[in-house]
Amino acid sequence: MDSMIKLHDLQFVPFIAENEIQTAIDSVADRLNKDLSDKNPLFIGVLNGAFMFVSEVVKRFKFDCEVSFIKLASYQGTETTNQVNKLIGLDRDISGRTVVVLEDIVDTGNTITALSEVFKDQGCEDVKIATLFFKPEAYTKKIKIDYFGIEIPNKFIVGYGLDYNGLGRNLTDVYQLKSSYNMTNLVLFGPPGAGKGTQAEVLKQKYDLVHISTGDVFRYNIKNATELGTLAKSYIDKGQLVPDEVTINMLNAEVDKNPQAQGFIFDGFPRTEAQAASLQELLTSKGSEVSAMVALEVDDEVLVQRLLERGKTSGRPDDADEGVIRNRIKVYYDETAILKNYYQKQHKYFGVDGVGGIDEITDRLSAVIDEL
Ligand code: IMP
Ligand code: MG
């Protein structure tokens, strides 16, 4: 199991190999043999997902037992619907019995909680829960999971009975959703005059990315007097720096506004290592990550000449004075050095020669992006 697979529209990557699953089932079965040898337990498998697990558990149970199946559904796609549907298939008297519910996976716990209530209502002596996989981070219920094979993080998985919209149940290894599927998240840097704005616009079109310029996000939130904008303004009005937390919350809202995005170009953020760490955290929470820091590199003398040239027509006062220009370039390098170092450690820093024609520079940037 060394390669990625595709089911419907989604990609999945190898996660748990069959031999690891077998070992986990051995251990569940050992405990069941120990605890229930004289109980003639009724194993009730929850269809469809549990069929493989039931078969493996029952093969290993060495004493009298019975096997039955029930069916219900609480899932659609990769999201729980928080709703347990009707129970079908319970065709025998279970009063006085020791019932072992066999589940493929316990996620929120809605299913097992509802089932165990039904079984207790019907006069079971004891209801035990045994599940192959358990997601403790997603679990919201109180009832005890008596036996579980493998704890997994809150990720969507397929294989070994588990499906994504019907597919994947036949896989004998388990795969997890490749969550950063197709996301290209760039942190774009370039000294003043390097043509960063122009390139951001081109890359945005070419790779279908959403360009998030922190300056624009601030202006938008302040102008529209959003809660965060008002908060940010209260700092700005006092001449204080807007705390990172406020900025990151704005970026978070911006990212959430574009759930279908192929990725983002971050422009103007992060500026410090702490901000870079916050950005990483934000993207991790979306199942993604920063793909690369891409920095346009242009020789200082070229920049100075370009900006002085621009100053003649733009009328921007900060483009007119050579001293001011040199200082802006210096500030840029002071800030960038920190982040260059931060992303270099993660092998995510890419410097790109920013001298040349627009198309030429786009080609150089594309060469980096296409390799990510
Ligand atoms: P719960 O009711 O939220 O605990 O979810 C239990 C049911 O949801 C399982 O029996 C599965 O059918 C389905 N399920 C939960 N997590 C996954 C998953 O990662 N992959 C496939 N199905 C899942
Ligand atoms: Mg199930």
Residue pLDDT, tens place only, 31-76: 999 999 999 999 999 999 999 999 999 999 999 999 999 998 554 5
Looking at the CA of 162, name the nearest ligand: 1
Q: Is 222 exposed, middle or buried (0-12, 13-18, 19+ CB in 10 A)?
A: middle
Main-chain phi, psi angles of 293, to 5 degrees = -100, 120
Residue nearest to atom 19 of ligand 1 (CA): 156
> Does residue 254 contact residue 217 with C-beta atoms inside 8 Å?
yes
Give the whole-angstrom CA distance, residue 242 versus residue 209.
Answer: 26
Structure tokens at 216: 């624009």
Q: What's the whole-number mean pLDDT along residues 253-276?
A: 88
Kindly report the length of the chain.
372
Is 60 considered catalytic here?
A: no
Residue nearest to atom 5 of ligand 1 (CA): 107
Atom of ligand 1 nearest to the CA of 73: 12
pLDDT in tens, 194-224: 889 999 999 999 998 999 999 889 999 999 9
Amino acid identity at 233: K
Residue 109 Cα to ligand 1 middle (Å): 9
**pLDDT of 180:** 55
Atom of ligand 1 nearest to the CA of 108: 3
Statement: residue 179 has pLDDT above 80: no
From the CB of 80, is ligand 1 less than 6 Å away? Answer: yes
**pLDDT of 281:** 85
Q: 3-state DSSP call for residue 364? A: helix
Statement: residue 82 has pLDDT above 60: no
pTM for this structure? 0.56
Q: What's the whole-number mean pLDDT along residues 231-260?
A: 88
Residue 91 Cα to ligand 1 middle (Å): 24
> Does residue 2 contact residue 14 with C-beta atoms inside 8 Å?
yes
Q: 3-state DSSP call for residue 274? A: helix
Structure tokens at 370: 């296409």
For β-strands 157-158 and 174-177, DSSP reports them as antiparallel
Is 328 considered catalytic here?
A: yes
Q: What's the whole-number mean pLDDT along residues 345-357?
A: 93
Strands (E), 146-216: 147-151, 157-158, 174-177, 186-189, 210-213
Q: Active site residue: 120, 178, 286, 310, which one? A: 310
**pLDDT of 81:** 54
From the CB of 162, is ligand 1 less than 6 Å away? Answer: yes
